[in-house]
Structure 1
């Protein structure tokens, strides 16, 4: 089994991330046309102005029966499969060649799919919370130079922002 932990660093937002994310979404969508998969650029690199690890995150949503074959097809694009990597309902793949990227495969329209979209969209709509999250990410990266420790340090802020996003979603309906 490949080790999930890896060195990380957080950098200032790069406007090129939007085009890189778009290109990766396009390439994966073409590879998975047979699966009628939905592919979205998610994570911090998808939020304009947000500091991030310079790694593009993409999520792929498909029918649960297609997940094993979708994972195989994404591996053909140069990604290594790391299994659920601690997140039930997700298959995690990563590529560290240029441009570095992560792919998260999950059931389309499942709770994890919806939460990732909600979090991204909420940060886009709330620059104040995106700035707060950026500060948290910088502080976490200053305290921890590896992925797992960094993720643990920012977990509380993510939980708080996600709760606010869910509350805002309930208010809008």
Structure 2
């Protein structure tokens, strides 16, 4: 995987891209909840130029839906019983990452709560942005980048009572 490059906020364009992606996904996912998450969902937050969409479904639908999206051209990158993620158009040229998790699960709740915290709190945004920039400058791939932010994400969520 490539080194992470953070782009200055393009929030309006990212928001519109996420909405187009959600509109295209709705007929494919049926009864599901879809949310734009990640740094591209936070105004004025620098981010990778990749829109993250979270899909919440009943647990028995996670694997099935991942296979259905794969059949529609999404690149299935991660396949676990409680979390699948797919890239579009591919993992080599990501424009979107689609995460499928159980609706209202811990994983769902933490991702929505973190997005909302960053939208609402200037101090949380500043703390997170600092670690994002440090991680982007010191890691060699997306996985290491994500792992290097985990402690700060946990601290910020803990500060609002989310474990």
TM range (shorter): 0.7 to 0.9
Moved more, 55-64 or 153-162: 153-162
- Give aligned pairs, total: 159
Normalised to the residue count of structure 2, the TM-score between the two structures is 0.88
* 1:24-173 matched pairs, under 5 angstroms: 24-33=21-30, 36-84=31-79, 89-96=82-89, 100-166=95-161
* Alpha-carbon separation, structure 1, partners of 2:159 and 2:84: 27
Shift of 1:118: 0.6
Moved over 6 A (4+): none
Are positions 1:8 and 2:1 aligned together? no
Provide the aligned C-alpha RMSD in A.
1.9
Normalised to the residue count of structure 1, the TM-score between the two structures is 0.83
Give structure 2 stretches of 5+ with no counterpart: none
* Alpha-carbon separation, structure 2, partners of 1:155 and 1:142: 16
